[in-house]
């Protein structure tokens, strides 16, 4: 009997489920080709009882971070260069969403599939040369079913060629400070034997990329669904990320695998207003990447909390005297909000202090910076928020000028 909240999965869940017509035949061929890969996969629970410590393995490198601040909550060998495999598609997706935002591309844009895209190996959705799909369908295929040919088609539409797209990707790498990353493909496929090197990155760089990608909330519109449709609903794509739809709060982001890379995953989940990013590289089995990522995020959710320390517009507890002003005092307010992810056993170590002058002279403009709100723990300053005037204050001798 299955326990409540648990779902039984097979490692061989098809990436594509056909509804009718030619798509059904394509799915059958896919099923026959990959039948020998199917093995029973253990249950993935909706929630796990969190351990006292992060998982020790099996993996080559791992990182857990708060998505909002980027604070690293746990890491092991986070700067080790490793092949990301299909998680390369996260950068392809980032450049695509940025192009949509700038007006260079549109989600409803029709894209003709090239011969190169149709002949791309690895996982796919049986693209045919000359077939026309929308950019949105190609994004779904790339992000959810990890379709390699869809990545090629998107790259050609955005940059003109895969080589030009790779150049753009590596330029974006420099801009984002992804110091261990070099892209050589648009989809993460390994090089043919003796014909070059694979893409490389690190857990730290993938967390940086994931944070940037999550700024485009549209990505979760695709990655958060266990199944998404393309081709006017005649073909359903099953998510390669088996945490989605099973682990509470899991809604992305991307899987990756080839033999030399191992099984990889960049996962994200949100609970109680806190979003975590888990990067797991070099796992030995399909299931272990999901198990490690879930254990890691469960540990994070159990042992850390997101505290709102300062809210924008919140008055501080100190008054400032105003010399020569129409009013003789004011109470500065916080210019911005600040939340901080802290270990539950270290909440008492956080302190908020104020550094403002005792007196300021009019005139004073609204939002004029008057001092600082300082957030610190026992060891260091964590952040500083400007304390500003909530109103305009004129001098006491000022008079309105009649026209």
Q: What is the pLDDT of residue 193?
A: 81
Kindly report, residue by residue over 292-302, the tens digit of the pLDDT: 999 999 999 99
Instruction: Check residue 4 and give its pLDDT.
Output: 34
Rounded to an integer, the average pLDDT of 316-329 is 93
pLDDT by residue (tens digit) across 16-42?
444 433 433 433 343 334 433 444 556
Q: Sort residue 5 into left (φ over 0), alpha (ψ -120 to 50) or beta.
A: left
Q: What is the DSSP string of 375-401?
A: EE-SSSEEEEEEEE-SS-B-BTT--PP
- The arithmetic mean of pLDDT across residues 341-345, rounded, is 93
For residues 234 and 191, give the distance between their C-alpha atoms in angstroms, rounded to a whole number: 33
Residue 401 to residue 393: CA distance in whole angstroms: 17
Specify the pLDDT at position 43. 77
Residue 87: predicted pLDDT: 98
Q: For residue 124, what pLDDT band results from cuts at 50, 70 and 90? A: confident
pLDDT at 52: 92
Distance (Å, rounded) from C-alpha 154 to C-alpha 31? 26
Give domain 6-307's CATH architecture.
Answer: 3-Layer(aba) Sandwich (3.40)
User: H helices within 50-124, ranges in order?
Assistant: 89-102, 115-118
Second-level CATH architecture of 311-388: Sandwich (2.60)
Q: Do the beta carbons of residue 115 and residue 131 sit within 8 Å? A: no
Judge whether residue 248 has pLDDT over 60. Answer: yes
Domain ranges within the chain, ordered by starting residue: 6-307, 311-388
Residue 57 has pLDDT above 60, yes or no: yes
pLDDT at 139: 97
3-state secondary structure 178-241: CCCCECCCCCCCCCCCCCCCCCEECHHHHHHHHHHHHCCCHHHHHHCCCEEEECCCCEEEECCC
Q: pLDDT: is 91 or 194 the higher one?
A: 91
Q: Do domains 6-307 and 311-388 have the same CATH topology?
A: no
Mean pLDDT of the chain: 89
pLDDT at 41: 58
Mean pLDDT of 277-306: 97
Q: How confident is the model at residue 121 (pLDDT cuts 50, 70, 90)?
A: confident
Tell me the C-alpha distance between 127 and 137, whole Å: 12
pLDDT at 155: 98
């Amino acid at each position: 009997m299955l326990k409540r909240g648990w779902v039984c999965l097979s490692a061989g869940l098809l990436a594509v489920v056909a509804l009718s017509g030619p798509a059904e035949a394509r799915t059958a061929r896919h099923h026959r080709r990959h039948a020998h890969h199917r093995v029973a996969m253990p249950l993935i629970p909706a929630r796990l009882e969190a351990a006292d410590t992060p998982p020790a393995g099996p993996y080559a490198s791992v990182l857990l971070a708060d998505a909002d601040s980027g604070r690293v909550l746990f890491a092991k060998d986070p700067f080790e260069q490793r092949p990301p495999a299909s998680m390369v598609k996260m950068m392809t997706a980032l450049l695509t969403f940025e192009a949509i935002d700038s007006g260079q591309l549109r989600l409803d844009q029709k894209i003709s599939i090239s011969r190169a895209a149709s002949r791309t190996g690895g996982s796919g959705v049986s693209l045919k040369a000359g077939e026309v799909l929308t950019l949105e369908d190609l994004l779904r295929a790339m992000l959810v079913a990890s379709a390699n040919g869809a990545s090629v088609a998107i790259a050609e539409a955005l940059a003109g060629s895969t080589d030009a797209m790779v150049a753009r990707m590596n330029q974006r790498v420099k801009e984002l400070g992804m110091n261990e990353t070099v892209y050589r493909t648009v989809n993460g496929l390994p090089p043919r034997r003796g014909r070059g090197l694979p893409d490389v990155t690190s857990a730290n760089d993938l967390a940086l990329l994931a944070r940037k990608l999550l700024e485009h909330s549209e990505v979760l519109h695709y990655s958060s669904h266990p199944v998404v449709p393309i081709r006017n609903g005649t073909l359903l794509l099953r998510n390669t990320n088996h945490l989605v739809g099973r682990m509470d709060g899991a809604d992305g982001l991307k899987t990756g695998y080839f033999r030399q890379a191992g099984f990889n995953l960049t996962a994200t989940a949100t609970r109680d207003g806190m979003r975590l990013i888990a990067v797991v590289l070099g796992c030995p089995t399909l299931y272990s990447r999901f198990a490690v990522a879930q254990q890691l995020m469960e540990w994070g959710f159990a042992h850390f909390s997101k505290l709102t320390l300062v809210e924008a517009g919140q008055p501080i507890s100190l008054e400032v005297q105003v010399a020569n002003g129409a009013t003789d005092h004011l109470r500065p307010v916080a210019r911005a909000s600040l939340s901080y992810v802290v270990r539950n056993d270290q909440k008492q170590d956080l302190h908020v202090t104020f550094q403002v002058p005792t007196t300021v002279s009019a005139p004073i403009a609204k939002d004029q910076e008057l001092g600082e709100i300082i957030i610190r723990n026992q060891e260091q300053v964590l952040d500083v928020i400007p304390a500003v005037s909530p109103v305009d204050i004129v001098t006491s001798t000022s008079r309105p000028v009649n026209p």
